[in-house]
Structure 1
Amino acid sequence: MTAPSTTEAGATPPGPAPAAPRRTFGLAAATALVMGNIIGGGIFVLPATVAPYGTVSLLAFVVLSIGAVLLALLFGKLARRSPVTGGLYVYPRDAFGEFAGFLSAWSYWTMTWVSIAALAVATVGYADVLLPLDGNRALEAAVAAGALWLPAAANFAGTRWVGGVQIVSTILKFVPLLLVATVGLFFIDTDNFGPFNASGDSVSGALAASAALLLYSFLGVESAAMSAGEVRDPERTVGRASVLGTLGSALVYLLGTVAVFGLVPHGQLAESGAPFADAVDAMTGGHWGGTLIAIVAVASMVGCLNGWILMSAQMPYAAARDGLFPARFARVGKGGVPGFGVLACASLGTVLIGLNYTAGPDTTFRVLVLITTFTGCVPYLLSAAAQLYWLAQGTRERVRPAGLARDLIVAALSFAFSFWLIAGAGYAAVYQGVLFLFAGIPVYVWLRGRSEGGRSSGVTKG
C-alpha cells in the first residue's frame, strides 16, 4: 500500500486531475468585468449617502481614485506571480501560510455576499421610479430578491454568459452615465453644492468617514485578479484590465458625482433614494429623463450583481481546492462556474434582504456598506503585505533598482491606504466586521482538524 496523495491541506480528492481552466476572458471582457463590478450601485446611490458630509466627499473620491489605481497596479504585479483564480486568497496563503489565506478568503467571501445584499436593496430605489412601490415592503423585498436571483441564474449558465452580460451591461450604463457626467456639468448651479464640510467633525475625520463609505463604489478593482484562472494571458491581461477598468470607472465617478452635487440641492440630495434620476430631472425639467436614467441604473445594478456573484463563488472555490473551505465549494458545473458557491452567496444575500425589510431600511444599506469596507480591506491589506514580504525576501530575479523601488512604493502605499480605510469605517463597523471575521475561525479549526486527522490515521489508497 502507498501513502495518500494530498495537497498541503489534504483537500484534493483522489481521481483524475482537474481539467485546465477555461480561459474565456480576453482584455475586453476582463476590463468589462472590472468596470462592471466597480460601476454599479455605488455611482447611482452613494452621492446621496455621502451628501451629509458635504463636498469634502468629492475630495474623498479623488483620494479613493488614486488609491484604487495603486491597488490595481498591486494586483497586476501579484497576478504575474500567481496567475490563478482566487488571487486575494492565494497571495496571503503563499506568503504567510494557510491560516492567513483562510482569513483573507473568509473576509472577502463575507464582503461579497454582504455587498450583494446591499446592492440588491439599493436597486429598489430606482425600481420605485419606474414602478411606484408605494412603500409596500413585501413588494420591495420581492424586487430586491429578483434583482439578486436573475444574475445568479446567468451565473449558473456559465462563465461565457457572465462575460457576455458584463460587456453588454457595461456599455449600456457607461455611455449614458458619461453623457450625464459631461452634459450635466453645463447645468450646474454652484448654490446646490452646500458646505464643504457639513459633518460637524474635522475635515480629516469627514474625509476618512466619507471615503470609508465611498470605498463600496470601488470594490471590484480586484475582479480580474480574482478570476485570473479564466483570463487569457493573465500575466499581462490582469494588470492591464485592472488599471484600465479602474481609470475608466474613476473618471465616470468623479465627473458624475460633481454633476449630481451641482444639479440637486444639498438638502434634497441627502434625502434622495435615486440621486441620478433627480439630477437628470433637473437637467430636463421633467420626469422622462429621470425615468430613462432609472432604467439604466437598474440594468447597471443587475449587471454589477452578475459579476459580483461570480466573484463570490471564485474565492471559496480556490480555498476549497486547498481544503480551507467545505469541499462542495470546489465543485464546478458544466459552464465552468462553482455552482454551490453561487447558491450559497445568493441564499445568504436573500436572508439579509429579508432582515432589511423586517428590521427597517436604515439598518442595512449604510451599516452593511461600512462592514463591507472592513471585510473588503482585510484581503487588500494582506495582499499588500504579501507583496512587501516577497520584495523584502529578495526572491525576485534580476530586478532593476528602479523597478524594485516602484514596486515597494506601490505595495507600501496600498497597505497604508487599506489601513486608513479600515480606520475610517468607524468603531461599530470594525467591531461588527471583526465578529464576522472571527466567526470563520471555528470553520478553519474544523476543516484543518479533519484534514490533519485524516493524514495521521494511516488511511491509504489501493
Structure 2
Amino acid sequence: MTRQETPSKHARQFGLPIATALVMGNIIGGGIFLLPASVAPFGTISLVAFAVLTAGAIALALVFGRLAQRHPRTGGPYVYARAAFGDFAGFLAAWSYWITTWVSNAALAVAAVGYLDVLIPVHESKAATITAALLLQWLPALANLAGTRYVGAVQLLSTVLKFAPLLLVAVGGLFFFDPANLGPFQARGQSGLGAISASAAILLFSYLGVESAAVSAGEVRDPRRNVGRATILGTLGAALIYLLGTLSVFGTVPHDQLVSSTAPFTDAVNSMFGGSWGGTAVAVAALVSMVGALNGWTLLSAQTPYAAAKDGLFPQVFAAKRRGVPTAGVLVTAVLASLLTVYNYTAGSKGVFETLVLVTTFTATVPYLLSTAAQIYFLACGQSQRVHRSRLARDAVLAVLAFGFSMWLVAGSGYEAVYQGVLFLFAGVLVYAWMAARKQHGQTRTAD
C-alpha cells in the first residue's frame, strides 16, 4: 500500500488557464526559433505542410480530450493503453514516454545553454558550461519539488513571457511584410507532394506535447471538462504562433538570407526595427521558452511513472507524492538528465547524444499510437459507458486521422531512430518482467 498524501498548502489543482499554458509551453520549446530557416529551402509551400500537420495535431488533441473524459486520471496515454489492452501495453506506453521526457530534458538544457551564452559568455569554460546546463535543469526541478502550486505559477509566467516576443514577430511582422521576400512557392527540382513531405518531416515533431494536459489529468480541476478544452486551446494557440511566426519571418527576411540564417527570428526583429538588438531579445525569449518547457516536461516525467507505480508496474518509490508532486519521479528524471548532460560535454561524443535525442522522436510517438488505437478499440467495442453513440461517426473519423498522424510521426523519425528506439523500448521488457513477477507474487501472498 502507498501512504496517502496529506493535503498541503503547496499543492493546488490546475485550472483551465494553467492547463492550457502547460500544453502550449510543452509544445513550443526552442525549436520555433529555427523552424523558418529550416523549411525555407522548400519554399513557401512548407506553409501547406504546416496546415496539414496542424489538422493532424488537432485530431490527436480531440482524441486525447475524448479519452480524458472517459479516464480522467493522471498518466494519460498509459491509462488509456492499459484500459484497452492490459498491463503490458500500458507499461510500454509509460516506459517509452518516460524515456522521452528525461532525454528531452537533457537536450533542452544543452540547447538553452547556447542561448544563455549570448547573454552571459559561458562557453569559454567547460566547467561553467556544464554548471549552467545543470542549473537550467535543476531550477525547474526545484520548482516542481516545491509543489504543484509553484509549477503552475512558473508555467503560466513563462508562457506569458515567451509569447510576448513571439507575438511581436508573429503579428508585428505582418505590418512589415514584403511579398518580394517570400522567394519561390516551390523549390526547383521537387514535386509539390515531395516538397510538402520533405518539409513536413522537419515540422512533424513541432507538435509533440499535445498530451500534456491528459498526462496530468489528476492535477487538473474538473478533468472531464478541462483536459479536453486545455488540449484543444493549447494546440490551437501553438499552431497560431507557429504559422504566423513562420509567415512573418518569410515576409520580413529576404529568402536568400533566410535559407542560410542561423537565427531567423533575430534577423526578422533586426529587419523590422533596425539595429542589432534582435539577437539579445530573441536569446531572452528562447531561454524563457526552454525553461518553461523544462518546467512542464519535468512534471510530466514524474506523472506517468507515478500512474504505473500505483498499478504495480513501476517501482513503488515512484508512487509517493508530496505537495501534489511525485517527488521520486522528479528526482530520478533530473538525475538521469543531468548524467546524460555531463556525458555529452565530457565524452566528446556529440553524435551519440544527438542520436539519443533523435530516438526520443520515435519513443514519443509510441504512446500516441497506443492511445489512438485504444480509442478505436473503445469505439469498435461499442461499450455504452464509454461511447457517446451520437458522436460515434465523428469520434471514429477523428481516431483514424489521429492514428494516421501518429504513424506519420513514426515514419518521419527515420529508419535509424526507429531501429534504435525499438531497442530502447524492448529494454523495458526486462523491467516489465521483473515488476509483473513482483506484482503476481504480492497478489499470491495476499490470497494466502
Establish whether TM, by shorter chain, passes 0.5.
yes
Following superposition of structure 1 onto structure 2, how do residues 1-40 of structure 1 map, counting pairs within 5 Å? 13=1, 24-40=13-29
CA contact 2:5–2:321 (8 Å) conserved in 1: no
For 1:375, the equivalent position in structure 2 comes to 363
User: Could you tell me which residue of structure 2 aligns to residue 248 of structure 1?
Assistant: 237
2:36 to 42, 47, 51: 47
Deviations 1:68-88 (A, max 9, x none): 111111111001100010011
SS in 2 for 1:140: helix
* Counterpart in the other structure of 2:99: 110
- The answer to whether 1:307 aligns with 2:296 is yes
Aligned to 2:279: 290
C-alpha separation in 1, matches of 2:353 and 2:249: 24
Equivalent position of 1:156 in the other structure: 145
Q: Residues of 2 paired with 1:78 and 1:138: CA distance? A: 46
Q: What is the percent sequence identity of the aligned residues?
A: 62
Contact 2:378 2:386 in 1 (8 A): no
1:88 to 71, 74, 77: 77
Does 1:349 pair with 2:349?
Answer: no
Instruction: Determine if contact 1:42/1:214 at 8 Å carries over to the other structure.
Output: no
What is the TM-score with the length of structure 1 in the denominator? 0.88
The 1-side partners of 2:311 and 2:256 are apart by 52
Equivalent residue number for residue 123 of structure 1:
112
1:126 deviates by 1.9
- Residue 130 of structure 2: aligned partner: 141
TM-score between the two structures when normalised by the length of structure 2 = 0.90
Question: 2 CA distance for matches of 1:372 and 1:353?
Answer: 15
Supply the AA of the counterpart residue of 2:159: T
Partner of 1:421: 409
CA deviation digits over 1:368-425, x for unaligned, max 9?
A: 5542321111101100000110111010259665511000011111001100111121
Q: C-alpha distance in 2, partners of 1:430/1:268?
A: 34
Q: Is the 8 A contact 1:279 1:290 kept in 2?
A: no
> Structure 1 16/251 Cα, relative in aligned 2: closer, same or farther at 3 Å?
closer
Which residue does 1:222 correspond to in 2?
A: 211
Alignment-derived partner of residue 97 in structure 1: 86
Residue type at the aligned position of 1:174 = F
* CA 1:297–1:453: 2 relative to 1, 3 Å: same
The 3-state SS of whatever aligns with 1:141 is helix
Q: CA RMSD in A?
A: 2.7
| Alpha-carbon offset, residue 454 of structure 1 | 3.5
Query: Structure 1, residues 216-246: CA drift from partner, whole Å, max 9, x if none?
Result: 3322211111111011111111111111111
For structure 2, the 5+ residue unaligned runs are none
1:261 offset after TM fit, Å? 3.3
**From 53, 60, 74, the counterpart of 2:63:** 74
Q: In the alignment, is residue 184 of structure 1 matched against residue 173 of structure 2?
A: yes
Q: 1:455: Cα distance to partner?
A: 3.3
* 8 Å CA contact retained: 2:28, 2:289: yes
In structure 2, what is the Cα distance between the partners aligned to 1:338 and 1:206?
Answer: 44
Indicate conservation of the 8 Å contact 1:83/1:235, yes or no.
Answer: yes
Q: For residues 48 and 345 of structure 1, what CA distance do their matches in structure 2 show?
A: 32
The alignment covers a number of residue pairs equal to 445
* CA deviation after TM superposition for structure 1 residue 359, in Å: 3.2
Q: 1:100 to 1:171 in 2, by over 3 A?
A: same
Deviation of 1:348 (Å): 1.9
The separation in 1 between residues aligned to 2:28 and 2:36, in whole angstroms, is 13
